[in-house]
Amino acid sequence: MSEIVKKFLYLNRKAPYGTIYAWEALEVILIGAAFDQEVSVLFLDDGVYQLTKGQDTGGIGMKNFSPTFRTLGDYEVKNVYVDRDSLAARGLTQDDLVQIAWEDFDTEEEVENIVEVIDTARVRELMDASDVVFSF
């Protein structure tokens, strides 16, 4: 569609509830996905909690939007990264995180889980390589 494809990186650094940042970031990502840019999403610091499995928001009266992250693949976001140090500092591993599937409808290429845990060096490379960085 658009001739210029830029690399967008969304940084999610905050816990899913308590502030509106996480939900707003997700909405921006989903809306932005309509513009056919190359989108990567990176979770770090408390942001890694956004991807944890088994969230229950019943006690705080907020919508549990964690299932919505699993639509990122449908919105053609193919790169979802999680900072390894942030996970480790919170006693979490990849097993604690949701899986996000991705499928190319035309070629039927499938990826079972696009969530990738990366180390600090990769985080740095990712930021360097991005044209636009949004931090939430």
Partner 1 sequence: MADTIDVNGKQIAVDEEGYLANLNDWEPGVAEVMSKQDNIDLTDEHWDIIKFLREYYEEYQIAPAVRVLTKAVGKKMGKDKGNSKYLYSLFPYGPAKQACRFAGLPKPTGCV
Task: Please give the residue ranges that form the binding site for partner 1 (CB under 8 A).
Answer: 27, 30-31, 33-34, 63-65, 67-68, 70-71, 74-75, 103, 105
Least distance in angstroms from the C-beta of 75 to partner 1: 6
- 69/84 with CB nearer partner 1: 69
In sequence order, the 6+-apart residues with CB closer than 8 A to the CB of 10 are 25, 28, 29, 39, 40, 41, 42, 134, 136
Compute the distance between CA of residue 30 and CA of residue 39 in angstroms, rounded to an integer.
10
- 110/125 with CB nearer partner 1: 110
Least distance in angstroms from the C-beta of 70 to partner 1: 6
Least distance in angstroms from the C-beta of 40 to partner 1: 19
Q: Say if residue 94 is exposed, middle or buried (CB neighbours under 10 Å; 0-12, 13-18, 19+).
A: middle
- 101/118 with CB nearer partner 1: 101
Which residue shows structure tokens 């308590």?
18
Return the closest-CA partner of residue 38 out of 136, 106, 129, 135.
129
Least distance in angstroms from the C-beta of 64 to partner 1: 7
The H or E element containing residue 82 is strand 79-83
Q: How does DSSP classify residue 35?
A: G
- 75/134 with CB nearer partner 1: 75
- 20/127 with CB nearer partner 1: 20
Least distance in angstroms from the C-beta of 83 to partner 1: 25
